[in-house]
Structure 1
């Protein structure tokens, strides 16, 4: 008969198992653990009987409570749609001016607009609408198309810019240098003139002759779109070259690059992807960011 060994430190019997000098005590499982295991199993069994829980191949156990998560979700969607119906109908049937004069509708616009903008526009314009490299800032009041009104923004969203939409806005700046329309020296000369329009400090005595030559080249090659005073035309998407707002950069080397290689921006049409109400809300939200023409 084997002799029972007792651990001298705890006074408990050991099981006889030893690992690297450590002996296992023959203690019972703590009562708290047993209670937890029992409660867990009882809960699992009750859940199985009360709730949809177990797949049966072609169906599943539906539970005694008759809870259907699909029905719950459908009810939540229906309730949400009913809640939205009141304001979506009001936005759909009201003019932009009427909506802007209605504080409750504008509260909806400011609550819903950021989500719509982030999902559809933020990747290009930035989630704060401040723009990114080669993508316009929608908060600065400088607009290529229209005056920044909600109506103008909504129309641009509807048809897009340089898209396949039959009513798309089209605008493209020729590649004067790349396509051989101007010599390299002339590209730099006209770019220096354009640069001087927004940087008056550049018009020093040593630059005046070159600037005058650039002005002549501008009148011959660029004024047809940008206007004789280079103020641009919002009806044709032609930018103002005399202000501080630049889509592709207003430094001299960046202007040279634009004149040499041309520019052709693109904005997708949202005519099919977004509903008229969603486009209206987005346009009103963008307008609310303060992007009105200065």
Structure 2
């Protein structure tokens, strides 16, 4: 709308609108800008028609093309899963102990899949690098409470430790000796246990007598533990809860009771086997006797 007047300073025609003595100049937008704006309007209308756009109570408009980013991602995931079907099926039938040598490609797939499963399900306790923490075992060394062969690892993952929901779980319990021993006796026993990694005779002195009477039935007369019942080796300077006197006093007096959940009800069998393959190759996994021939497995000392 033109007011038929021109601004004295700029010489621009005015619109006729005036507020508090300020007159509005008639400066129309550039043609190119207007056409660009109109094009975006047309593009927006076309997008609304073709693609999901308007939210509804129980979803959204689907658009005439029926395309969505969610559907595209689902299709990609489906394609990857289809491509991996043969590998997952092969993993179910494979001999885990011989997998590395018999089928290196399948072993590589299992390790890579197991790494992803570990980060999702295990790293919260054992750490992103599997180095463990206080009360959570380090999976990088060769100190295993229940055995480090790949099938033993798979059993632990599948059924857990002290997992009362699974009848096949591995179960052992160290009693709290605070109910049986006096304070001075526990103090002597703590000092003795702390000295075991330094080479002290497990049967020496008062602490040795206390150890023989109360601890040797599980940890062995030589204090090297018993994997069959999850009793740790006390001579190797590897401590699950710590080696300071205060911690050992608490452990001996009250008894630890660590629980690992069983993953058999959360992961399928192929995933469990992939996870076992990953943990086994981290650095502490032990070779099966079938791979070594006659004789004990590598690193077979109790831990």
Q: TM-score, normalised by structure 1?
A: 0.83
Cα distance in structure 1, aligned partners of 2:247 and 2:213: 21
The answer to whether the Cα contact below 8 Å between 1:5 and 1:16 also exists between their aligned partners in 2 is no
Residue by residue, what CA displacement relative to the aligned partner does 1:221-279 show, whole Å, maximum 9, x if unpaired? 01011000110011110000001211000122221221112111100011111111000
Matched, 1:256 2:258: no
Contact preservation (8 Å) 2:51, 2:65:
yes
User: What TM-score comes out, normalization by structure 2 length?
Assistant: 0.81
Partner of 1:133: 134
Cα shift at 1:73: 5.6
Unpaired runs of 5+ in structure 1?
none
Q: Distance in 1 between matches of 2:141 and 2:176?
A: 28
Q: SS where residue 258 of structure 1 aligns?
A: helix
CA distance in 1, matches of 2:221, 2:32: 88
- Are 2:112 and 2:278, in contact at CA under 8 Å, matched by a contact in 1? no
Give the distance between the partners of 1:149 and 1:17, measured in 2 at CA: 88
Question: Per-residue CA shift, 1:112-143, capped at 9, x if unaligned?
Answer: 12210011111111111110121111111111
Name the CA distance, whole Å, in 2 between partners of 1:113 and 1:58.
Answer: 37
SS of corresponding position for 1:235 = helix
Residues 66/123 of structure 1: CA separation in 2 closer, same or farther (3 Å cut): closer
Alignment gaps of 5+ in structure 2: 287-298
The aligned counterpart of 2:289 is none
The Cα shift of 1:49 comes to 3.0
- For 1:27-38, what aligned pairs fall within 5 Å after superposition? 27-31=27-31, 33-38=33-38
Secondary structure of 1:271's counterpart equals coil
Q: Using the TM superposition, give the Cα deviation of residue 193 of structure 1 relative to its aligned residue in structure 2, in angstroms.
A: 0.3
Q: CA deviation at 1:64?
A: 4.3
Equivalence for 1:5: 7
Residue in structure 2 matched with residue 39 of structure 1 by the alignment = 39
**Separation (CA, whole Å) in 1 of partners of 2:58 and 2:132:** 53
Q: Report the equivalent of 1:186.
A: 185
RMSD: 3.1
How has the CA–CA distance of structure 1 residues 150 and 13 changed in structure 2, closer, same or farther, with 3 Å as cutoff? farther
The within-5 A match list for 1:72-221 is 72=72, 75-101=75-101, 102-146=103-147, 148-164=148-164, 165-177=166-178, 180-199=179-198, 212-221=205-214
**Residues 7, 13 of structure 1: 8 Å contact kept:** no
SS in 2 for 1:161: coil
CA deviations on 1:132-168 (whole Å, 9 max, x unpaired) are 121111111111101x111111001111111121111
Q: Any residues of structure 2 matched to 1:214-293 within 5 Å, and which?
A: 214-292=207-285
Distance in 2 (alpha carbons) for counterparts of 1:151 and 1:56: 52
How far apart in 2 are the matches of 1:6 and 1:249?
89
- 1:6–1:264 distance in 2 versus 1, CA, 3 Å: farther
Q: Which stretch shows the higher mean deviation, 23-32 or 250-259?
A: 23-32
